[in-house]
Structure 1
Amino acid sequence: MATLSQSTPAYTITPTTNNWLATYNTFIEEADFNRVGWAATTIIVQGCILTPAFLLIMFMYGGGDWQLLTANLSFLLVLVPVLSAMSVKYILPAFAFSTLLHLALILMDIL
């Protein structure tokens, strides 16, 4: 005779991986819901804070033409994933790389 109820195990095992990659992947999956907000934030920070600060520092301390080209290309590195409606998975690493590049160029001009 068959049983009417299904037996369930007394416990379930959930893997607890607390490494940075699992945390980052979880954050990216949750942030993809607000992709437009993240894209707007990256463009605003890039276009209204980082690039004008870099241009001001570069013209005050005398940077080279290659620095202007590098800064413009790194700005495009952020702009292309935003305008092509890519996922936050691609926008945030491009923004992080561009931010590091801008800050490195600013420090190079100041020092």
Structure 2
Amino acid sequence: MAHTIQHSIPTSYKITTGKPTAFSRFINWCEGQEKNRFVWLGLALAGHGCALTPITLFAIILSGNFIFFWIMAIVAMMTALVTNLAAMPTKYTIPAFLLSIVMDLAIIISCLAMGFNLNAAM
């Protein structure tokens, strides 16, 4: 007859490393911003959707309408939009919002580096 031996295995582990990293402190700060989630929602939708994205699209149009920049601008806006509309915690929405801002700024800097051509916009 076979016997089953059940060992007690702890289900959670806590690893202690000394000093918390900058990323872990940032994520902890984001979790603490849960009480201000509607402020972050408004900032992401209104600030990014009504100000930064149109500026980015304007820069794309003036630099020659490259399709790669259009795709990147749409992905940046959708990153901020989808995470907020899915009602995800601020632990995810704030980093996604900051990533989308970085993407838009990188697009604008790339368009400035290529130069604006008013004839290309027509």
Bin for the TM-score computed over the shorter chain = 0.7 to 0.9
Task: For residue 63 of structure 1, give the secondary structure of its aligned residue in structure 2.
Answer: coil
CA contact (8 A) 2:31 2:89 kept: no
Q: C-alpha distance in 2, partners of 1:35/1:91?
A: 9
2:60–2:111 CA contact under 8 A, matched in 1: yes
Mapped contact 1:77–1:94 kept (Cα < 8 A): yes
Cα deviation 1:28-77 (Å, max 9, x = unaligned): 23210111111111111211221111111111121301211111112111
* Structure 2 match to 1:42: 44
Q: 1:88 aligns with which of 76, 87, 90?
A: 90
In the alignment, what sits opposite 1:64?
A: 66
Q: 2:110 aligns with which of 88, 108, 111?
A: 108
* Runs of at least 5 residues in structure 1 that lack an aligned partner in the other structure: 1-15
TM-score normalised over the length of structure 2: 0.70
TM-score of the superposed pair, with normalisation by structure 1: 0.76
Counterpart CA distance in 1 for 2:72 and 2:54 is: 14
Percent sequence identity over aligned pairs: 27
Q: How many residues matched?
A: 96
- Larger fraction in helix: 1
RMSD: 1.7
* Structure 1 residue 99 corresponds to structure 2 residue 101: yes
Q: Within 2, Cα distance between the matches of 1:44 and 1:17? A: 37
Unaligned runs of 5+ in 2: 1-17, 114-122
